[in-house]
Amino acid sequence: MNIKAIVIDIDGTLLTNKRIISPLTKKALIEAQEKGIKIILASGRPTPGMMRFAKELELDKNNGFLVSYNGAVATNLQTNEILFSKTLSATMAAEIIQHLKKFDLVTMVYKDDYVCVENAYPKPIAFRDVKLEVVRYEAHGCNMLVSEVKDLVEFANYPMYKILSAGDPAYLKEIEQELKAPFIGKANSMFTSDFFFEYTDIGIDKAYALDNFLPQLGINPENLMAIGDGQNDMSMIQYAGVGVAMGNAKPEVQNVADFVTKTNDEDGIVHALEQYLK
C-alpha cells in the first residue's frame, strides 16, 4: 500500500494522557516525513492551539498541514496559506447559542485570540477523578486568552468556525439528542471529548476538509492513513484507505476502523506505522 500522507488527531491520539508527544512517537513521525510522507494534524482545536505540536513535529519544515476547528479550516504550514475554510453563519450561530442556554452547559466561542464566555469561572466538571476548570482548560489548550461577555447571543454576531459547549459527561450523553435535534440538516454537531460537544457548519467534518485539498496534491483517499480516537475522527477514519482507531478509542470508533492499535499511552501511532509502513 502506497501511503503518501498520515492524518492524526491530537487529543487522545498524538498526545499521551499527560498531554505530551512521547519521544518514540515524535521520532517516528519525523522519520516518516524524511521519507516524503506528509503529516497532517486534524483536531477540534482552533489553529493556534495546534501550532506548538506542529512545530515540535517539524511540520512547518516539511510542508505539513493542519485541519483545525473540526474540519472548518485547513492550513498549509509551509506557506501559512488557508487552503479551505467554512463558517457557521452569524444567524445560525446565534440560534445554536440561544438553544444551548436551555441546558446546564458552558458555551464558548472564539474571536481573534480569545475564548469568549459569559462566565469565566463556572462550576468545575468532574472527569477522571479531577475537577476540570473547562474554560481555563480550553483557553490553555488553544493558546488563547479568556474574555467574559455579558450576552453570548448578542456578542456572536459574526460568522464563526465552531461553537463549543462543555458539561458533565453523563449529562451530555443524556441530552445529546436534544442538542442535535433542532439543527439536523442545518449544522453538524458531535462529541469531541466526553465533556465537549461542538457545532460546525452543515457537512463540515475532518474528512470534508481533507477531501477539499488533498486530491489537488495528488493524495487520494487510498494513499491516506487516518489515526484517531473520538467521535469526530470517524469521518476521516472511514475516508482514508487505512483507518486506524486508537486502543483507547470508543467502541463505535473502533468498529469503523481497519485496524485497532495500542493506546495513546502505549505509542499507538508508532505501532500503527510499524504495521503499514514496512
pLDDT in tens, the chain (278 residues): 799 999 999 999 999 999 999 999 999 999 999 999 999 999 999 999 999 999 999 999 999 999 999 999 999 999 999 999 999 999 999 999 999 999 999 999 999 999 999 999 988 898 887 888 999 999 999 999 999 999 999 999 999 999 999 999 999 999 999 999 999 999 999 999 999 999 999 999 999 999 999 998 999 999 999 999 999 999 999 999 999 999 999 999 999 999 999 999 999 999 999 999 97
Long-range contacts of residues 254-262, Cβ cutoff 8 Å, at least 24 apart? 261/227
- In the prediction, which pLDDT does 131 show? 87
- Phi and psi dihedrals of 109, rounded to 5? -130, 170
Q: How far is Cα 134 from Cα 153, in angstroms, rounded to an integer?
A: 20
Structural domains of the chain ordered from first start: 5-86+204-276 (3.40.50.1000), 90-201 (3.30.1240.10)
Q: How far is Cα 139 from Cα 124, in angstroms, rounded to an integer?
A: 15
- Phi and psi dihedrals of 88, rounded to 5? -70, 140
- In the prediction, which pLDDT does 139 show? 95
The distance from CA 62 to its chain's CA centroid, rounded to whole angstroms, is 21
Strand partners, 160: 88
- In the prediction, which pLDDT does 39 show? 98
DSSP the chain: ----EEEE-IIIIIS-TTSS--HHHHHHHHHHHHTT-EEEEE-SS-GGGTHHHHHHTTTTTTT-EEEEGGGTEEEETTT--EEEE--B-HHHHHHHHHHHTTSS-EEEEEETTEEEES-SSPPPEEETTEEE-HHHHHHHHHT-EEEE-S-HHHH--S-BS-EEEE--HHHHHHHHHHHHGGGTTTEEEEEEETTEEEEEETT-SHHHHHHHHTGGGT--GGGEEEEE-SGGGHHHHHHSSEEEE-TTS-HHHHHH-SEE---TTTTHHHHHHHHH--
Kind of pairing between the strands at 114-117 and 125-127: unpaired
Q: How far is Cα 97 from Cα 120, in angstroms, rounded to an integer?
A: 16
The upper half-sphere exposure of residue 36, i.e. CA atoms within 13 Å in the direction of its Cβ, equals: 5
- Phi and psi dihedrals of 40, rounded to 5? -120, 125
34 vs 59, 60, 62, 63, 208, CA distance in Å? 11, 13, 8, 11, 27
Please choose, from the candidates 26, 35, 6, the residue with its C-alpha nearest in 3D space to the C-alpha of residue 228.
Answer: 6
- Helices 268-276 and 23-34: crossing angle in degrees, nearest 10, is 30
Strand partners, 65: 40, 76
Output the nine-digit C-alpha cell for 65. 498541514
pTM of the model: 0.94
